[in-house]
């Protein structure tokens, strides 16, 4: 046991050293899409239902950006190789040649990818967020008829996830680690408050478990309030994650929430709950934003069971198409994004995984007709 503790201590020291290097190398180069002459959009199919729903979102982008694609100001590039089979064969969450293709793009539209249970293979999403420094995960949930208009800002590169594949095991015990840094927290908090200021929002909720996780969540809360002091017109309230999951179900209290700021794990969980209120995780898109790169995706997984049941054609592409709308706004194509968002709201066709309604392709056909 003494030797095992010594080895664990050495492993922990190595992790701490790596995190200090990560902090020093945090990317600060910003891309200004309002002046960028050529924007390259990388398309990554993913696993399971990923290729099915990503193909439909790509059709929509090609329709809305047809003139710019023809003129060369928009380039759509298919990126191959980020499949579970290739990742397992290479033993890498993102094979090196695939990462090179990814970094040659400005923004990505990415289908869901499968992460193996157990073992040491890191999630492709976690690896991509780290490699591209995509620190802000932005997930909107809007249900007008229930007076719900929420924007979640989830810290995307720290918390439990940054070291989720690097814990240590001792006889009879396993330990994982959670990381919260000053810089990482400050920039996600600033992103949330800037969004609130620029979009007429006056309420930010900071959600942690700081009463229990006193060092990490305590730091997150403290720094969020330091940033909040620079925005005196915005009200800030603290909530614990357990009560917030209940509050999102509590009427009319939930109507007061506007911008919700959370560490990584809590944000991952609670945004699935919020999406379910909107109509299910199949209806929700997600943005992963950094200063240089951005990646847009559905919030759900690759749904291999749908393929096993032979129902892949009925996978709902709305999540990926909503992600495509977020991508358009990010690259300053607001008019195209607005057209797509309006079409999504008025599309008369529905998709259900039981096959009782339209296929993914039929839904997209109807959407394109509205465009």
- Which one from 135, 161, 231, 293 is the annotated catalytic residue? 161
209 is catalytic: yes
CA distances from 65 to 31, 34, 70, 171 (A): 20, 16, 9, 57
217 is catalytic: no
Q: Are 351 and 317 in contact (CB under 8 A)?
A: yes
- DSSP state, residue 212: T
Q: What share of the chain is helix, strand, coil (3-state, %, to 5)?
A: 45, 20, 35
Q: Are 73 and 38 in contact (CB under 8 A)?
A: yes
- Which one from 45, 47, 268, 322 is the annotated catalytic residue? 268
- Gyration radius of the chain's alpha carbons: 21
CA distances from 118 to 122, 136, 169, 245 (A): 10, 26, 13, 27
241's tokens? 């994650």
Q: Is 96 exposed, middle or buried (0-12, 13-18, 19+ CB in 10 A)?
A: exposed
Residue 287's φ and ψ, nearest 5 degrees, are -115, 140
- Which one from 209, 219, 266, 314 is the annotated catalytic residue? 209
268 is catalytic: yes
| 352 CB-side CA count, 13 A | 4
Helix (H, G, I), strand (E, B) or coil at 76: strand
161 is catalytic: yes
Among 116, 122, 154, CA closest to 136:
154
242 is catalytic: yes
Helix (H, G, I), strand (E, B) or coil at 220: helix
- Which one from 149, 238, 272, 291 is the annotated catalytic residue? 272
- Which one from 97, 176, 182, 242 is the annotated catalytic residue? 242
| 266 CB-side CA count, 13 A | 24
Helix (H, G, I), strand (E, B) or coil at 32: coil
Please identify every residue annotated as catalytic. 161, 209, 242, 268, 272
């Amino acid at each position: 046991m003494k030797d095992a503790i010594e080895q664990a201590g050495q492993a922990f020291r190595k992790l701490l050293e790596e995190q200090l290097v990560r902090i020093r190398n945090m990317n600060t180069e910003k891309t200004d899409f309002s002046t960028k002459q050529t924007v390259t959009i990388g398309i990554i199919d993913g696993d399971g239902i990923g290729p099915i729903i990503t193909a439909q979102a790509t059709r929509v982008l090609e329709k809305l950006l047809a003139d710019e694609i023809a003129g060369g100001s928009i380039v759509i590039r298919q990126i191959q190789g980020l499949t579970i089979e290739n990742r397992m064969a290479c033993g890498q969450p993102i094979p090196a040649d695939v990462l090179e293709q990814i970094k040659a793009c400005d923004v990505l539209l990415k289908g869901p990818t499968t992460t193996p249970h157990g073992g040491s293979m890191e999630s492709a999403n976690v690896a991509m967020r780290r490699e591209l420094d995509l620190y802000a995960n932005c997930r909107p949930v809007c249900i007008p008829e229930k007076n719900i208009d929420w924007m979640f800002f989830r810290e995307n590169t720290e918390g439990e996830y940054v070291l989720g594949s690097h814990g240590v095991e001792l006889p009879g015990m396993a330990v994982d680690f959670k990381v919260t840094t000053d810089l990482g927290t400050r920039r996600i908090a600033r992103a949330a408050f800037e969004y609130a200021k620029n979009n007429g929002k006056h309420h930010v909720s900071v959600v942690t478990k700081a009463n229990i996780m006193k060092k990490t969540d305590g730091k997150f809360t403290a720094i969020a309030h330091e940033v909040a002091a620079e925005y005196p017109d915005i009200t800030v309230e603290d909530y614990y994650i357990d009560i917030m999951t209940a509050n999102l179900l509590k009427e009319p209290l939930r109507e007061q929430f506007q911008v919700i700021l959370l560490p990584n794990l809590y944000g991952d969980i609670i945004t699935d709950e919020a999406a379910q209120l909107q109509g299910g995780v199949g209806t929700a898109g997600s943005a992963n934003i950094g200063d240089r790169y951005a990646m847009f995706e559905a919030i759900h997984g690759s749904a291999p069971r749908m393929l096993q049941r032979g129902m892949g054609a009925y996978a709902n592409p709305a999540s990926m198409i909503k992600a495509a709308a977020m991508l358009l706004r990010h690259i300053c194509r607001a008019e195209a994004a607005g057209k797509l968002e309006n079409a999504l709201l008025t599309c008369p066709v529905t998709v259900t995984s039981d096959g009782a309604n339209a296929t993914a392709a039929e839904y997209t056909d109807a959407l394109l007709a509205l465009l």
